[in-house]
């Protein structure tokens, strides 16, 4: 089989993996070597679905021994199969990297024979790439659950980031849909990688010659929408993963129907829950950069995100007593809670107000977007001139602003907030399921 | 400053030239009303002074930057000169003047329009440079990497450290079509950014064509059909970048890339 055909088959098999980042590491090429990494990461292209392409994301092989229902590469699926030889994959990576197509390699694999054999093959490929080809670019490798810890360790010595996919957000869904995987088998390599990273970091603090182990940390991914877990369940799990396993990132992947299995939503009528995925990412950001806690964003009475407004707005609307925040006097934490003000804007406000009183005009100069923030902000105790809204009105305005961003809505969905008879529908009430799958 | 005479400066367009202008303006107590390039055919209403670039004076002004404007301020001036901000010399002069009067902390007055105008332009320059780190496409001509871009700002000085680190100084040429200049690097870490008159190309080799085809195939394959979202793609990667990117070219439409012989008078020194 030609390399081009293999590439097509094996890129197709890997495309449902969401993780495609190259951040968290600063490294230059050695003389005669090739490749560097940027701490901020680097996107090399964006595919037609708007997702970033930064790594050559391929499977080593798609000949899988497992039969996970949600997975396109499952054993029972009738599909062309291929396997890269280590050398083919290295040539491809180097050729793409030299032409600046990619920032590195994302290597995943179906389980060939068993997890140990698969990991051995991956280690073989990566050590050829690192040692023989002198490649110093970014490598993201998938750790295969169930592989021998020693093999996973060798993988971590070669890769910059390791990830173990948690796949489904609960043990129940996992045993239903992925009978070959279980929670313990997923969590134990995760803990092993966490400890490996920590040990290597301590050793490197003592000696710069100590080997680095997955220096860009580890990440994971879960599928959203294939099983009935609530957003609250997923977000709480995410928070636990960040705290307990020190993950760098948790990725969410809206379920794309790839199977006729009776255990999964029927592919004919199902649309991937992209809006829900988007809201989860927004909340994920709030956890990582805005000092929010999962239980602040969602609770038992409100287990799912509001499709009409983003999680931060929704939080603000439930905590109107926290507002208005004064741009002149509020501290960094308070500013971060204002919808529309992000990390950059908050820092700029802190810097700028040392030099004089802030006005709304000055905020605009700073690049603070007042579209949402205006309802929650005062400058020197004064609200924006001409702004007069009731708490109900705030919600209406915020929803109206979000609308154009929720593109591809049908006209009847646009009028969801107020139906034809002018009767208001509570945005927190029962929602049109169609809206969830924008 | 109210009693400073307004004049227009004509200089050679180089950064050293601009710094010499700054020197002259303080030496003669003149406030520049506009800056003209040596080829500029505009006429100004103010008395015109032609400033010859004077390396020693330029260096003197440059040395003063870190002391008077701080490191941030110096970077703003150096990067500001590379931006496509209209009348950038005037904005930079206003910023320098503010720095000389008020000291380095003045650079933190984000709400001051003199500071913010330059900061914003520099932010755009850095943003564009970051995008180009990913969006540049090279073609391999028997070991020599050649790429072309059409940036709004002069991004080559910002891209240089990145590509030198990435390729460990391996030979490459990156042509900036907008500003008619090109970055040349060669092994051993030597590099130069030089003006280029004419940039021509030879046909790509078989291996190059094969890699281009594989990249296009990969690019088309990774997109998930049921998530098709062209607007999202355009937000992250505006269309002005597409023309030079392999994934949007077909072999017939691909502009033939330059050959090394095409760059007369721009050899690596």
Closest partner CB to A7 (pick from B120, B217, B247):
B217
For residue A267, whether the previous peptide bond is cis, meaning omega lies within 30 degrees of 0, is no
Sign of CA dihedral A240, A245, A249, A253: negative
- Is there a single domain that holds both residue B112 and residue B31? yes
C-alpha to C-alpha distance for B57 and B23, rounded to whole angstroms: 7
* Dihedral sign, Cα of residue B99, residue B105, residue B107, residue B110: negative
The two structure tokens encoding residue A71: 């997975």
Whether the predicted pLDDT of A357 surpasses 60: yes
B75, B17: one domain: yes
Is the model's pTM score more than 0.80? yes
Q: Inter-chain contact A33–B168, Cβ cutoff 8 Å?
A: yes
Residue A192 is classified by DSSP as H
Mean pLDDT of A43-55: 93
pLDDT(A168) > 90: no
Q: Give the separation between CA B214 and CA B207, rounded to whole angstroms.
A: 11
Interface residue A365 vs chain B (CB under 8 A): yes
Task: Write down which residue in B81, B106, B127 finishes a domain.
Answer: B127
From A225's Cα to the closest Cα of chain B, the distance in A is 14
Res A182: pLDDT: 81
Hey, are the CB atoms on B111 and A355 less than 8 Å from each other?
yes
Lowest mean pLDDT among A19-28, A144-153, A346-355, A384-393: A384-393
Residue in B130, B235, B237 with CA at minimum distance from that of residue A40: B130
Q: What is the pLDDT of residue B269?
A: 33
Domain assignment of residue B264, yes or no: no
What are the DSSP E strand ranges found in A30-168? 45-46, 52-53, 55-59, 104-108, 138-142, 161-163
B218–A366 CB contact, under 8 Å = no
Banded model confidence at residue A365, pLDDT cuts 50, 70, 90: confident
Provide mean pLDDT across the span A142-159: 93
Tell me the three state secondary structure of residue A362: helix
Which pLDDT score, from 0 to 100, does residue A404 have?
67
Whether B119 and B229 map to the same domain: the answer is no
Beta bridge partners of B50: B10
* Contacts of B22 by beta carbon, 8 Å cutoff, 6+ apart: B61, B93, B96
A394 within 8 A of A340, measured Cβ to Cβ: no
Contact status of B190 with chain A (Cβ, < 8 Å): no
CA distance A80 to A61: 11
Query: Which pLDDT tens digit goes with each residue over A199-218?
Result: 999 999 999 889 999 999 99
In a shared domain, residues B160 and B115: no
Query: Would you call B228 and A274 a contact, using CB atoms and an 8 Å cutoff?
Result: no
CB pairs under 8 A between A and B: 162
In a domain, residue B94? The reply is yes
Q: Which of A108, A217, A219, A220 is nearest to A169 (CA)?
A: A220
From edge to edge, which strands make up the β-sheet containing B138-141? B138-141, B144-149, B172-176, B181-186, B190-195
Q: pLDDT for A76-124, tens place per residue? A: 888 999 999 999 999 999 999 999 999 999 999 999 989 999 999 999 9
Residue contact B112–A355, C-beta within 8 A: yes
pLDDT of amino acid B189:
77
Judged by a CB distance cut-off of 8 A, whether residue B135 touches chain A is yes
Q: Confidence class of residue A406 from pLDDT cuts 50, 70 and 90?
A: low
- Quick one: average pLDDT of A134-141? 94
What are the residues whose beta carbons fall under 8 Å from the beta carbon of B20, sequence distance 6 or more? B11, B51, B52, B53, B54, B57, B58, B61
**Quick check: is B265 in a domain?**
no
- CA distances to A2, A186, A341, B129 from B72, in Å: 53, 47, 24, 18
Tokens of A320: 């109107």
Mean pLDDT across A365-389: 85
Give residue A382's pLDDT.
85
- Residues B121, B10, single domain; the answer is yes
Residue B266 placed within a domain: no
Best CA proximity match to A326, nearest among A315, A318, A337, A317? A337
Residue B6, classed as helix, strand or coil, is strand
pLDDT in tens, A306-328: 888 899 999 998 998 898 899 99
Do B191 and B218 belong together in one domain? no
Q: How many domains does chain B have?
A: 3
**Residue at a domain's end among B127, B146, B176:** B127
Window 224-263 of B, Cβ < 8 Å to A: 224-233, 235-237, 245-247
Give the CA-trace dihedral at A44, A48, A52, A53, to 10 degrees: -50
pLDDT, residue B163, reads: 93
Domain span at B147:
137-202
Q: Does A358 touch chain B (CB under 8 A)?
A: yes
| Spatial separation of the C-alpha atoms in residues A18 and B124, rounded to whole Å | 29
Q: Determine contact, residues A111/A65, Cβ cutoff 8 Å.
A: yes
Confidence of residue A405 (pLDDT cuts 50, 70, 90): low
Report yes or no: B170 at the A interface, CB cutoff 8 Å: yes
Which DSSP state fits B105? G
- The answer as to whether B238 is a domain residue is yes
Which of B202, B217, B246 terminates a domain? The answer is: B202
Task: Using alpha carbons, select from B162, B155, B165 the residue that is nearest to residue B193.
Answer: B155
pLDDT of amino acid A169: 87
Reported as a single tens digit per residue, the pLDDT across B92-105 is: 999 999 999 999 99
- Does residue B269 sit within a domain? no
Does the residue B195 lie in any domain? yes
Confidence of residue A391 (pLDDT cuts 50, 70, 90): low
Instruction: Report ipTM for this prediction.
Output: 0.89
Cα separation values, B181 from A339, A428, B128, B173, B193, Å? 44, 58, 17, 10, 7
pLDDT at site A263: 81
Say which range, A16-25, A220-229, A312-321, has the weakest mean pLDDT. A16-25
CA distance A260 to A135: 42
Residues of chain B with pLDDT under 50: 257-269
A161 touches A24 (CB < 8 A)? yes
Q: Let me know whether B35 and B102 are in one domain.
A: yes
Q: Give a yes or no: residue B173 inside a domain.
A: yes
Question: What is the b/e burial string over B137-146, where b = at least 16 CB atoms within 10 angstroms of the residue's CB?
Answer: bbbbbeeebb
Q: Are B17 and B120 members of one domain?
A: yes
* Residue B249 with chain A: CB contacts under 8 Å: none
- Write phi, then psi, for A301 (nearest 5 degrees): -75, -20
Average pLDDT, chain A: 86
Mutate to test the interface with A, among B217, B218, B242 (most CBs of A within 10 A): B218
The region that residue A291 occupies, defined by phi over 0 for left and psi between -120 and 50 for alpha, beta otherwise, is left
The C-alpha atoms of residue A43 and residue A53 are separated, in whole angstroms, by 6
Placement of tokens 């040395």 in the chain: B63
Does B56 share its domain with B121? yes
Half-sphere exposure of A353 (CA within 13 A, CB side): 21
A296-312 average pLDDT score = 91
B219 touches chain A (CB under 8 A): yes
Q: For B221, which of A11, A254, A351 is closest by C-beta distance?
A: A11
Inter-chain residue contact B137 with A99, CB threshold 8 Å:
yes
Tell which wins on pLDDT, A306 or A396.
A306
Closest residue in B to A258 (Cα–Cα): B226
Question: How many other C-beta atoms can be found within 10 angstroms of the C-beta atom of residue A191?
Answer: 12
In the numeric block, the tokens 């004076």 are attached to B57
Predicted pLDDT of residue B253? 55
B198 and B250 together in one domain: no
Same domain as B150, residue B113 = no
Chain A interface includes B6 (CB < 8 A):
no
Are the beta carbons of B71 and B32 closer than 8 angstroms? no
Q: Which residues face A325 on adjacent strands?
A: A377
Burial status of residue B98 (CB atoms within 10 A of its CB: 0-12, 13-18, 19 or more): buried
Chain A (178-217) residues lying within 8 Å, Cβ to Cβ, of chain B: none
Q: Are residues B12 and B55 in the same domain?
A: yes
């Amino acid at each position: 089989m030609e390399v081009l055909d293999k590439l097509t088959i094996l890129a197709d098999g890997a495309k449902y993996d969401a993780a495609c980042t190259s951040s968290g590491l600063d490294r230059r090429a050695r003389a005669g070597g090739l490749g560097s990494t940027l701490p901020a990461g680097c996107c090399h292209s964006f595919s037609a679905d708007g997702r970033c392409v930064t790594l050559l994301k391929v499977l080593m092989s798609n000949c899988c021994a497992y039969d996970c229902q949600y997975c396109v590469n499952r054993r029972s699926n009738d599909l062309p199969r291929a396997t890269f030889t280590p050398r083919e994959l290295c040539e491809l990576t180097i050729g793409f990297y030299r032409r600046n197509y990619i920032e590195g390699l994302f290597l995943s694999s179906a389980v060939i024979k068993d997890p140990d054999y698969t990991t051995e093959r991956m280690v073989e490929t990566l050590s050829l790439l690192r040692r023989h080809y002198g490649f110093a670019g970014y490598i993201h490798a998938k750790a295969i659950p169930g592989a021998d810890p020693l093999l996973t360790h060798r993988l971590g010595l070669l890769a910059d980031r390791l990830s173990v996919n948690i796949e489904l957000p609960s043990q129940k869904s996992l045993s239903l849909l992925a009978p070959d995987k279980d929670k313990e088998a997923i969590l134990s390599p995760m803990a092993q990688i966490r400890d490996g990273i920590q040990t290597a970091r301590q050793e490197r603090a003592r000696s710069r010659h100590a080997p680095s182990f997955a220096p860009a940390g580890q990440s994971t991914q879960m599928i959203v929408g294939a099983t009935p877990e609530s957003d609250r369940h997923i977000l709480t799990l995410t928070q636990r993963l960040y705290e307990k396993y020190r993950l760098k990132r948790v990725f969410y992947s809206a379920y794309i129907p790839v199977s006729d299995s009776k255990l999964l939503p029927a592919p004919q009528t199902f649309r991937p829950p992209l809006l829900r995925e988007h809201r989860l990412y927004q909340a994920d950001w709030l956890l990582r950069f805005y000092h929010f806690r999962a239980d602040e964003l969602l609770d038992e009475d409100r287990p799912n995100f509001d499709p009409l407004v983003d999680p931060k707005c929704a939080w603000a609307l439930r905590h109107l007593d926290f507002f208005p925040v004064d741009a002149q006097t509020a501290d960094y934490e308070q500013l971060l809670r204002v919808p529309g003000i992000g990390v950059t804007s908050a820092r700029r406000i802190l810097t700028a107000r040392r030099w004089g009183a802030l006005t709304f005009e000055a905020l605009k100069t700073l690049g603070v977007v007042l579209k949402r923030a205006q309802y929650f902000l005062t400058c020197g105790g004064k609200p924006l001139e001409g702004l007069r809204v009731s708490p109900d009105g705030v919600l209406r305005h915020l929803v109206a602003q979000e609308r154009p961003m929720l593109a591809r809505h049908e006209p009847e969905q646009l009028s969801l907030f107020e139906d034809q008879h002018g009767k208001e529908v509570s945005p927190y009430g029962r929602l049109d399921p169609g809206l969830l799958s924008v | 400053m109210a009693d400073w005479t307004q004049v227009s400066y004509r200089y050679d367009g180089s950064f050293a030239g601009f710094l010499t202008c700054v020197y002259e303006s303080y030496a003669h107590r003149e406030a520049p009303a506009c800056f003209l390039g040596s080829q500029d055919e505009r006429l100004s209403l103010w008395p015109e002074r032609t400033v010859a670039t004077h390396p020693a004076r330029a260096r003197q002004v440059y040395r003063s930057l870190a002391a008077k404007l701080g490191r941030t301020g110096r970077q703003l001036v150096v990067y500001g000169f590379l931006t496509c901000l209209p009348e950038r010399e005037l904005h930079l002069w206003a910023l320098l003047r503010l720095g000389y009067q008020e000291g380095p902390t003045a650079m933190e007055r984000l709400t001051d329009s003199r500071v913010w105008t330059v900061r914003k332009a520099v932010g755009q320059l850095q943003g564009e440079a970051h995008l180009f780190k990913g969006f540049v496409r090279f073609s391999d001509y028997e070991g020599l990497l050649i790429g072309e871009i059409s940036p709004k700002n002069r991004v080559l000085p910002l891209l240089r450290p990145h590509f030198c680190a990435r390729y460990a100084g391996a030979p490459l040429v990156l042509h900036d079509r907008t500003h008619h200049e090109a970055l040349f690097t060669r092994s051993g870490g030597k590099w130069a950014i030089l003006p280029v008159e004419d940039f021509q190309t030879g046909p790509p080799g078989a291996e190059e064509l094969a890699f281009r085809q594989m990249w296009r195939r990969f690019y088309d394959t990774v997109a998930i059909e049921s998530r098709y979202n062209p607007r999202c793609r355009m937000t992250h990667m505006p269309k002005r970048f597409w023309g030079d990117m392999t994934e949007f070219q077909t072999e017939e439409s691909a502009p033939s890339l330059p050959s090394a012989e095409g760059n007369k008078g721009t050899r690596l020194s």
